[in-house]
Structure 1
Amino acid sequence: MNYSKDSRSKKIDETNKNTKKKKTKKAKVTAFRVVVIALVIGVFAVFGAGLGIFMGIIKSAPDVSTINIKPTTDFTSFVYDQNGVEIDRLSGGENRIYAKMEQIPQNLQDAVVAIEDARFYEHNGIDIRGIMRAIVVNLKAGDIVEGASTITQQVIKNNALTSEQTFVRKIQEQYLALQIDALYDKELILEYYLNTMPLGHGTNGVQAAANRYFGKDVSELSLAECAVIAGITQAPTRYSPIRNPENNWDKAKLILSYMQEQGYITEEERQAALLEDPYKNIQEVNQKYEKDSSHSYFVDAVIEQVIDDLVEQGMTPTQANNLLFGGGVEIYTTLDQDIQRIVDNKMADDSLFPSYKEYVINYSATIVKPDGEEIHRGAEGVIKSKDEEEIFKKAKQEEWGVEEGDKLVNEAVQFIPQAQAAFVISDPYNGHVKALSGGRGMKYGDRTFNRATQAKRQPGSCFKVLAAYAPALDLGLLSPGSVLVDEPYTINKYSPKNWRSYYKGPTTIREAIWDSMNVLAVKTIDMVGIDTAYNYLLNFGFTTLSDTDKVYSLPLGGLTDGVTPLELNAAYAAIANQGTYTEPLLYTQVLDRNKEVILDNTVPKTHTVIKPSTASMLTDMMEDVVKIGTGTKAANGMGGMPVSGKTGTTSDNKDFLFAGYTPYYTATVWMGYDRPQEFTANGAHLNLWSSIMSEVHKDLPNKDFELVTTGYTKTSICSASGKIPTELCSSASDNKIVSDYFQKNQAPSEYCDVHVHEQICSVSGKIATEFCPQDSIVTKVVNRHGEVSKDQLCDVHTQHTEIETPDDPQLPEWGEWPWGGGEDTQPPTEGETTPPTTPDQPVPPTTPGEPVTPNPDDESGFFIPQG
């Protein structure tokens, strides 16, 4: 054996190398085991956490023993006015009538199962195959777009859970479906679903749908009619057999194919159903239904608000509908029938609307061909008068291909007058809506489009007060007497233009409001900040705004979507209520049939938007809008009752509004076309407002607005400069000394430096130069801003010009003077002259006059602009 030193070293090295390999291998194995163990632990941890979350969701689900999935339908609900007098009834027959399974045709049962839940009779409440399909679809979409809901789950969703698409609700729904399926027979579950499924136009359940669309009992439906009804529920508007019969028939044909494929009907039965015309009487039935509709716009609005509030409390929309139409509830509203009667009468008075007229005409008919084929058509258009009805109908019949020998049946015509209008009047101190109108002309159907509560239109200049001046005053940035310069102005490439064709120069905030000046509103919102102004609007109760409205044109009312008259009225009611916003209310209480309160609005929801002093200053300034500004017609017939408010007109003359208030009520009017277009209102919206409000206030004693001046002082200023007036200001022909309110830190402390003595050439009417003859020069107090420009200097007398001055120089009209003056100013006093000067001597400098000592308590000079 080799025991040499080298040999031993070599063996030691090999041994160490093998040891390292073993250690490395062992380390790798250990690491692998650690990773595997960690993964196993992680899986169990995730599983355990997931299981914990899952169990938490299950535990939070309603107890199945407390769930009543049978709809209530047997009791009439009553609607009362503010004095407890019944004004309307809501019966189950309006939107749902319960039908037992033996009343429902087998074809209708099968049609619903075929399209809604093909494996209904096979699964135990949830459809695993459907769930797997939905998982794949949702993963691809990155959102919940398909729910794989079974009929059992739909019953639970309609009667026990919310309709919100969340994973938590979905898990609870599936868990409860398993239990419900075990507790109830399939036939009973299907019966409940057939009586709760939404079927469009306010109907729920197959019996109500049979009455609404075909005017017959559900037991009398044909196979094709069953397919028509079954196809509505997935998208009630898109598949409406009234509005979209073509879409509905496509769906019905698909359902008939499913029924044949799934063995419910034979091919012969399917072919026979395709030859039916289930739509031949639908328009006639619909016309009669709409004619017999009785709910007013106010009651429609009450229904919507009650349903929304019930949903907010946890009901599904179906549950809320079922409760109102069949649950025997009592709804106590805020309606004042006397005021509503006034509103309705005025809205029906054509003399209060623009003299020219248009009508949106809706025309529908069934064309019967000689071979018996029936074709259903409908069209909408605009006519200038009802006399053009036959011309419109004939034109549409030609478009539809009506030929000689064809018959027209089930013709229906609707006329919607244009311009349209909406009106809301409320008590600003408790939020109670006293009356409203959602449109003029005949109301076709119940729960139709309500312009007072649903029409989102541009508010125009009504937003200037809310978005700009209210925040500016409230934050202490401006006061009613503060002066801003009306001038060409650009900010972030946006250049607002005034509705007038000129700029006024220095202007008080008061005048900016009553004359509705755009430039100053934009300057003000720049001072406030867009985000701050936007937050004030949200605090004023607007729910239809979006981040895209955060632009400098925000106070001018050019919005992405617009606002409703109801919400605009509530915002101005907050100003009338000394800055406290009160949620607009259409009802005070809802009682169930056991007289238990289920909704209570007796204590309204309120919050502070602006300080009382801010609200008072806005009210005081907006009185000038009605006295001397853009809203003077709103005071017609008010008999001295104070009115404060703001007009709003969009730049394209498509929307005309006035939001105003008295010490008693706040009211808002909107006038425009349903399909927005430019028109000339000529103050019709203001006449409508004053006509309604003058009658509402006829027997109410006049009283003044409460004026809160905390933090404000009243002082005199020269409005041309915004500073303390001097004797020159009072002697100036454009005397602009006014008295107004200032926040204590904003009252002026400097004297006016705008009114100065100036030597004027009576020939040119411009500032005299060294070349003007002495006998043509007069001294005047003028309004000078900035440096004198070359254009303001006399251009008649020059170094090379000699002109004979008349003995009795005639001065130009004062409005032609280049440095100032306006329609309210006076010409210079005749005979005024200046000391002689020599041509090589400069014009002597002017000296300011003695200052006028301001008197904060003197109201004799309170700002009352003319014109």
Structure 2
Amino acid sequence: MKILKWVLGVTVALLVVGSVTVVGLYYYWKDDLPSVAELREVRLQTPMQVYSADGELIAQFGEIRRIPLKLEEIPQPLINAFLATEDQRFYHHFGIDPIGVGRAFFLLIATGEIQGGGSTITQQLARNVYLSFEQTWTRKIKEAFIALRMERELTKDEILELYLNKIAFGQRAHGVGAAAQVYYGKDIQDLSLAQMAMIAGLPKAPSTMNPITNPERARERRAVVLGRMFAENVINEREYRDALAEPIETRLHGAEVTMQAPYLAEMVRAEVVARYGEDFAYNSGLKVYTTVSGKQQRAAQKAVQENLHQYDERHGYRGAEAVLWQPNETPWPMDQIIDYLGQQSSIGMTVPAVVMRVTEQTAVVLTASGQPHEIPWEGLAWARAYMHADRQGPAPKVAGDVVQAGQLVRIRTTENGLRLAQIPEPSAAVIALRPHDGSMAAVVGGYSFAISQYNRAIQAKRQSGSNIKPFIYSAALENGFTLATLVNDAPINQWNPGSGIAWRPRNSPDVYEGPIRVRQGLAKSKNVVSVRLLRAIGIDTTVDYLTRFGFNIDELPRNESLSLGSASMTPLEVARGYAVFANGGYLIDPYFIDRVVDDNDQVIYQAQPAVACVPCEDGTREVVQAPQVITEQNAYLITEALNSAVWGGGSWQHRTGWNGTAWRIQRSKQIIDLAGRNIVGKTGTTNDIKDAWFSGYVSGLVSTTWIGFDNLERALGSTTFNENLPREEQPITGAEGGAKTALPMWIDFMAVALEEATIEPFQVPPGLVMARIDLETGKLSRNNDHTSRFEYFLPGTAPTEYVDSKPSNRNIFSDDDSIF
């Protein structure tokens, strides 16, 4: 009895001392414990997500990957797996489980060290949110205090929901939603029982038990989870055994991106970080909605990649990327080939493959999937040997002229089947703007973001070539010229005493027609006409005028080469300039972020662009009017001239017909069906064919395409006829240029993009007058036949003299489709 009384006394004393100690520690740490408000507003570090205007996920940025879910969105079997494994008595204890504490106490007595275990889900959540993972008495006591406060202030379901969204699962995945995506690439609802058990086993040691880094340990941990679920009667024996037998099949998956737009995503990332700072941008669950359309962006991406492949193919095949074995050597074993291919990257439209067998006109290749694929002769016949930019080898006769067994090559899938491929050497860009407010509809800065993050659409300053001519012509119209004014299309020879050489700008092709109207000069892209206009209005006047379109005055050369496009501009700057013509004379500011939404679905930023409108009215919000930099009448006259670049003029029946440089647009049935004749455009090619451009627009969309080498010394070159290809499939031959290289890319893009664009006829603005003129002289005409047409004039600028009514048989027009 004495011993029993002594034990009871000691126990009571220890309880009193322990209680006093605990109370004392509580008041000592009270100010360090989270408040009630903090408990209810635990911020989940959620990555920034970038969306298209129509809600497609483009990218996700952040140190932590998380997909927050409501408890009711989480499958019950997954919840059961966590409860069975981590805290069977979760819904019955008060935040601390005495049974678990007792188990941990006996482990302490047995080992002399604080061991893991004994912590409830509430305690684990407290540790994850507020504390470290160090095994100390201080941390364990604080953990208990926070757990008790959580249980008092939050419901069990709120605690469980926070826990399932907060805990780490390895591979930067936090929360069950992200874990499902990272390990299985699935929505959480689509997981199998075995996959749920795998995820539920990860919190114990997420870095060492995950199936990516250690599949065997992950399998053992999964078996433990399934065993506890079976012991708790939340699964039956058949479910248990089937799940145990399921193989460990997992790999790292990226965010569930539904649209590839990496160049745009990087633009958004940089802008949001600059605006809000890295921590808030990456961890606050921001949703950034861009102005880009999913459909138009895909069309732009495809147009860039397809046209770069077409360019690359017509210039020849550069050969295999590597040779794994020679024809006289023993082929590699299949497992070795597949392992090697698994280390190679798919880039753009191309997939790495190893040539396994070559017949007379086919090649069988193996991809990383282990599946053999046959490339037919149609996919090989293009592959003449590349010699240099202007020369290709003879057309191959058999497949062995192109590939050999043991070579590492690339293939791509086209509408006509499998095709031998190579990563294109040149670069290209597409930028599309809505001219009424400057919102970007699509932006592609290169063939593949994986091989180059340089965004040529907004960063590459390249000589603009003839793409600058509409701005020169606009300045001429502002300074007394009309679309009917005759300008002499004749060679220029200007001696420069300083250099001792003559400047001889030439047309391309080197054809001259004598006096032609300004409309024809722009539509046919006559170089010497552009030079003469610049001379007539003066360099300083022209430079000052071009700044109205947003061009930097310091980057506009003050010499006559300006008229031929020696000024360097980005595709975005060029598109912005063309938007002035498309919207009636207003300079808009391009933008790509429409709004930013926080994790509570509150809009914290909304774009309010200046709009091209007269007057500016909007029933929903105040609208700022963009500055008008040229007159509506001037913009319309340039649009008219650029329309002739597409549709030409004269009469083919009477042998006076002529093509503008953009006549190939007429061949696109999709574009003509959508836009009719309400579409305009201008080619551009620089000296030595180092840059090729095309810019064009309808009333609701303006776009610019560019192609060239990143190496400024390399020219795009020329190609010859490939006798292997049917005439209808024959690629463009001759010198590359705006019409042949950039325009096809623009057509491919616009054929799709116009489906979502506003397309209205270009309305004749008030103030313009119309008069019938003689096509040959630009004078007034009384004839109503193929020798005349109606032309538009600013008031007071129309001709006053009539031409002799006798028709002229003179044919001064040329029909040459090689012009640029």
* Normalised-by-shorter TM-score class: 0.3 to 0.5
Higher RCO by CA contacts (8 Å cutoff, separation 6 or greater) = 2
The two structures have a TM-score, normalised by structure 1, of 0.45
Structure showing greater radius of gyration is 1
The two structures have a TM-score, normalised by structure 2, of 0.48
